[in-house]
Chains A and B, each alone.
Chain A
Amino acid sequence: MTDERDLEIDDLINNLDKEYYSAHRTANSANLTTHKSRDLKSLVRLWISERTCPDILPYAHDLLDTMLDRVREQVEVIEVNTTSGDAGGGAKLKLLFVETEIERVKFLVRGYLRARILKIDKYYTHILNNLDMQTRLSQSELRYTKRRGNQLKRYYDLRFLSALPPSLQRLDDTAGGLQMVDAPDLDEVVFVRVLRDVPGEVDLGNDDKIELRTGNIYVLPYKVIRRYVDNGDVQLV
């Protein structure tokens, strides 16, 4: 009889502890949670921007490092939970969410990097001739660009350039007003959504003026809106 009551009391206390603990933890981690959701949102934005922007944007070192660290942490969580063997129904469900989210984050990171590689492949000569562009790449991206440049140059030489007169062998010729080197075209139009009101009007340079009010959606040349994308007044969509 007493045993039973003791058990019940123990249960109650345990439950209380648990509840107190989790409430406490929630309060403490509220800050962390907002950080986390902000980071994920940034990653999403980064992915969208890189996909839609004609130019190569600066590589987001800090954010990528943070996100990849967290992915590693979560992978550890999975490993610990699966090897410890207490794969009850609840634990399995928990792991399902953790795994799904890891895949979602990895998809974003992969998409981000692949969108960059697309532009790097296209503009590699321009990048190699332009220091400002190079500072926007990560170390491995820069390595990739250089190697790609060298390999292609060697390949072209071997295949046909060596057979041409020396004056026609250059790959970055500008003769005749034509650029051989592809550079990002900042005049290309982009879709943007205005996040906060911008005072005054924006001059589009051709007698057209527009107002940027929260919620407006515009399609316009990247060049004229770039400033507002950079300071966060508008976002690429």
Chain B
Amino acid sequence: MAIPPKQVGTFIPAEISFLAENSLLTIIPRQAMESIELIGGTIPSMRPMRRIEVPIWVAVLLKKQSRCNIVPPNWLSEENLKITYDAEAANMTRFSANLPWEWVEVGELILGSAPDDLSSPPHVIRNLLRDIREVRQAKARAGLKNLNDSYLQLDNVGAMELNEIRSFVTMAMNQLRIMQGTREGAERQDVDVEPDDQDDDDDDDDLPRESYDDSMLTAKSYQDSSDTARNNSRQGSEFAGTEDERASINSHTFGGVPHISTQNKSRSALPQAPSYTDDDDDGENEDNDMEMDETYLNAVNSN
């Protein structure tokens, strides 16, 4: 029996959490226990008050039975989370490296199972985590505007965050790649292959072919074309505006610069982001944004 459809091409949040439960956590046992041989290692023998490291799932089980206290990792302290939040908010083009790979899951697990072991009130930590998550989601969303068919760099993105954008990014990039392939094939054979068959069900990312070509030929600077785009949309010419904006994204994209990149060549792109939603006339792009939001909300809710 193959895996169910909802698990195809992605992981469900529970699975990401499951993976995080294998990482180690320091605990302070409250009572003695002999060591236990397991398949994936040994739980060391425990003496009260002597710190040991165990997988998180063991810590959670012990904690449920009040047999240990959990020592929250350093990054989860109120002070460090505040520093992280400031770092996140200060640089909108990069994800800070202050958080571990599994920070979302580990944070949730500890908040859920051992709120009393935190050094600060749980709601403070919870709010900080949520704030950080929102800042980072905003960055990820802004970065999605620069998807291309070549590659995307997402340094310091956490496991759960990555999984949330996985379906969308995979689908969009594969689609762009197919279109690029079709385009090249059409050029090679000088046969007009209709790319639209496959694009119909893909709403967000089917760049109209004309604009695609335009962007390749004219290679306008991003600033220029996005100005045009905004002018156009102010005139209420919705379609033209959309197309030009897409072309602008595209020309930018073909500069080969990923958005969320350590190379930071693409800073100029970010200040543009709000302008998409500021334009009231620009219906179609707002739609896109809303759809993106929905994707996020779904991911967050199913969390």
Contact = CB atoms under 8 A, between A and B. Distances in A.
Interface of A: 22, 26, 29, 33, 36-37, 39-41, 44, 48, 51, 67, 70-71, 74, 77, 90, 93-94, 96-98, 100-102, 104-105, 107, 111, 114-115, 117-118, 121, 187-189, 191, 193, 204, 206-208, 210, 215-221, 237
A100 B60 CA distance: 12
Contact of B19 (A36, A44, A218): A44
Contacts of A204: 150-151
Interface string B166-182: 10011001100100010
B256 A118 contact: no
A219 B152 contact: yes
Interface string B8-29: 1001000100110010000000
Contacts of B61: 96-97, 100
Interface string B181-204: 100000000000000000000000
Given A41-B40, A94-B36, A104-B18, 15 more contacts: A22-B34, A22-B45, A26-B35, A26-B44, A37-B41, A104-B57, A107-B18, A115-B3, A117-B3, A118-B2, A207-B256, A215-B97, A216-B155, A218-B152, A221-B177
Given A22-B45, A107-B18, A219 B38 contact: no
B41 A114 contact: no
A217 B33 CA distance: 41
A105 B18 CA distance: 11
B130 to A, nearest CB: 23
Interface in B139-169: 150-157, 159, 162, 166, 169
Contact of B169 (A96, A193, A219): A219
B41 A217 contact: no
Nearest to B177: A187
B40 A36 contact: yes
B151 A90 contact: no
Interface of B: 1-3, 7-8, 11, 15, 18-19, 22, 33-45, 57-58, 61, 65, 67, 97, 101, 150-157, 159, 162, 166, 169-170, 173-174, 177, 181, 256, 262
Contacts, number: 130
16 contacts: A29-B37, A74-B38, A94-B36, A97-B38, A97-B61, A101-B39, A105-B39, A114-B1, A117-B3, A187-B177, A189-B177, A193-B101, A217-B156, A218-B151, A219-B153, A219-B170
Contacts of B19: 44, 48
Contacts of B43: 97
Nearest to B159: A237
A148 to B, nearest CB: 11
Nearest to A207: B256
A104 B38 CA distance: 11
Contact of A71 (B3, B39, B153): B39
B153 A51 contact: no
Nearest to A120: B2
A97 B58 contact: yes
A44 B36 CA distance: 21
